[in-house]
Chains A and B, each alone.
Chain A
């Protein structure tokens, strides 16, 4: 670590108005794109890569990293306000953020999301700066067995997000895993469960499914109950969380930032997985797990710290190995190449200045995100105060156009409506929706790696317990399952007690 060069790079970003301006433009654009349903950080970076042609590498990369950081936070805004995760990475934020918004605490949730995003992003960027080569060596140890174990560990979180009934949660999860098998088989290419539809050959598109299950189902629910549900009085009195909120969430922020960075550094595992794993961990270690799902601020802090830390983590394999950690860094890899730079070990030898500029830009982008986010909170939180007869139609249109935008395909809009109806029915039958989402994210990774491992071993299952990292992850998954089930029992007992005492749970 060359501190002198690092400080020079920091100066290159902070003291050059053109670079600083690009960071702020990137962050503001990223937050907007992240907050719009259907538009992901990947799409934002991909759309804006052409604008970096002909600009110096420092400016270009600063803007793209600004978009990346901004979009990771932006996803939480719509997750909290309208139950529509702007990006898949913000899907877990819905679990606690939306109930907080419904309790009139949108400002509190948004400010915590911003603060946790800043902390997570900064911790992730610092770890990237100091531990890049070390962490990337660890990530290189991952083969199919380890990836399968990691996916199974992620799936063990289903128990924690099952709500009242573990059985219904597991059923939702299995249904999600079955949905994830729709389309081409990842190994042989055989089309499965496509009902003869070409549009389903690549599986149900993730963003339309996400929007349908969470946004459309909620809009239908809200339309049905208009006049019955009480009007929300959002308190928009803060830009940063209270000291009390920071105090109760700090442990989770630090823990989730470390989890997020570690998961982000493993190629193929993104912010969505990191957020769910961190949420599961926050609930598991909480003194009041029975309150999770009713709007707990630590839950928002955990998911947002994790998904933003992931961006720092995902840069580690990109910079040190030339292997993108997630979809956004895959697009960033293209941006590096456009600039005539090839990420990987040679980048450290031949363009160390660029590497340090990336470190510095990432840190500055997180500060810019905090400032732009603070300026926007009052504006964003007002959305929830708009009358339902105006808000519902506009969100409905935004959801349908958002699902169209990804592939410009009307079939995806129909898919969104179908999943919206399914989500609405499942909500009525008290089936949790989040396990479906988690299974859709982890399903392809689970199946492909399990089959790869078994193909390598020619069907011998002992390969699954032949690697130390995998064994450690299996043990963690088993522990997470046991603790999750015990917690669910505790939650049911506490809920029963509060009902007997005539108290409102939560």
Chain B
């Protein structure tokens, strides 16, 4: 029995059921005959069918495998989760704090987390990468990046 396939099937069926239930609440289209729920309901029904098939395959299977286990004892998974947390913080603070300071901090934090230790690299890479991205997006492609706190200083 492959538990993760049964779980995957359950998640798929759940998404399909949600789409069907929400679709049932959509208004029918009397003039055009076919309303906004027609296509998503059709797709959801196919998704539920294939989810059931996956769950059935999982229940009948005698072979293990098919899912990469999460080992919370390894530093790797924590490193990835911390990077994700840093990216979430970067996203949340990008507009209030600004692109330039946040990007320098984000790259520096990730480099430290990933094991970079050379002091020169830790100074140069965040500054150079931030300046490079800023130059290309803001100056060449004229895409306005969040100014944030630097705006208060008149930048």
Binding site for B on A (CB under 8 A): 33, 36, 39, 43, 47, 165, 167-168, 170-171, 174-175, 177-178, 181, 185, 187-188, 190, 192-193, 216, 219-221, 223-228, 387-390, 392-394, 396-398, 400-401, 404-405, 408, 410, 413-414, 417, 420-421, 424, 427-431, 446-447, 450-451, 454-455, 458-459
> How far is the CB of A464 from the nearest CB of chain B, in Å?
13
Judge whether A228 and B116 touch: CB under 8 Å: no
B30-42 vs A: 1/0 string, CB under 8 Å?
A: 0011111111100
Judge whether B80 and A224 touch: CB under 8 Å: yes
Chain A residues near B27: list those with CB within 8 A. Answer: 190
Chain A residues near B106: list those with CB within 8 A. Answer: 393, 396-397
Query: Given the known A-B contacts A394-B129, A397-B106, are A417 and B84 also in contact in the complex, defined by CB atoms under 8 Å?
Result: yes
CA distance A330 to B57 in the complex (A): 47
With most chain A CB atoms within 10 A of its CB, the pick from B22, B33, B91 is B91
Q: Which chain B residue shows the least CB distance to A176?
A: B43
- In the complex, whether B150 has a CB less than 8 A from a CB of chain A is no
- In the complex, whether B70 has a CB less than 8 A from a CB of chain A is yes
Judge whether A429 and B47 touch: CB under 8 Å: no
Q: Contacting B80 at CB < 8 Å: which of A192, A223, A397?
A: A223
Q: Which chain B residue shows the least CB distance to A454?
A: B34
CA distance A325 to B127 in the complex (A): 42
Chain A residues near B119: list those with CB within 8 A. Answer: none
> How far is the CB of B15 from the nearest CB of chain A, in Å?
7
Query: Given the known A-B contacts A175-B12, A190-B27, A397-B103, are A429 and B67 also in contact in the complex, defined by CB atoms under 8 Å?
Result: yes
Chain B residues near A223: list those with CB within 8 A. Answer: 76, 79-80, 83, 114
From DSSP, what is the main secondary structure of chain A's interface residues? helix
Judge whether B110 and A404 touch: CB under 8 Å: no
Chain A residues near B87: list those with CB within 8 A. Answer: 216, 396, 400, 417
Chain A residues near B24: list those with CB within 8 A. Answer: none
Judge whether B91 and A400 touch: CB under 8 Å: yes
Q: Which chain B residue shows the least CB distance to A226?
A: B114
The total of interchain contacts (Cβ-Cβ below 8 angstroms) comes to 179
Judge whether A454 and B33 touch: CB under 8 Å: yes
Chain B residues near A165: list those with CB within 8 A. Answer: 54
Query: Given the known A-B contacts A225-B76, A400-B90, are A192 and B36 also in contact in the complex, defined by CB atoms under 8 Å?
Result: yes
From DSSP, what is the main secondary structure of chain B's interface residues? helix
- In the complex, whether B59 has a CB less than 8 A from a CB of chain A is no
Which size class do B's interface residues fall under? 35 or more
Judge whether A417 and B91 touch: CB under 8 Å: yes
- In the complex, whether B98 has a CB less than 8 A from a CB of chain A is no
Judge whether A174 and B47 touch: CB under 8 Å: yes
Query: Given the known A-B contacts A405-B137, A414-B91, are A389 and B40 also in contact in the complex, defined by CB atoms under 8 Å?
Result: no
> How far is the CB of B131 from the nearest CB of chain A, in Å?
12
B66-87 vs A: 1/0 string, CB under 8 Å?
A: 1110100000110110011001
CA distance A295 to B26 in the complex (A): 45
Judge whether A190 and B26 touch: CB under 8 Å: yes
Chain B residues near A398: list those with CB within 8 A. Answer: 133
Chain A residues near B36: list those with CB within 8 A. Answer: 185, 187-188, 190, 192
Query: Given the known A-B contacts A185-B36, A405-B143, A451-B39, are A396 and B95 also in contact in the complex, defined by CB atoms under 8 Å?
Result: no
Chain A residues near B99: list those with CB within 8 A. Answer: 401
Nearest 6 A-B pairs (CB), nearest first? A185-B36, A393-B110, A174-B47, A389-B114, A224-B80, A389-B116
Chain B residues near A225: list those with CB within 8 A. Answer: 76
Chain A residues near B12: list those with CB within 8 A. Answer: 171, 174-175
CA distance A451 to B43 in the complex (A): 14
Judge whether A396 and B83 touch: CB under 8 Å: yes
> How far is the CB of A246 from the nearest CB of chain B, in Å?
34
CA distance A463 to B50 in the complex (A): 28
> How far is the CB of A491 from the nearest CB of chain B, in Å?
16
Q: Contacting B76 at CB < 8 Å: which of A228, A396, A400?
A: A228
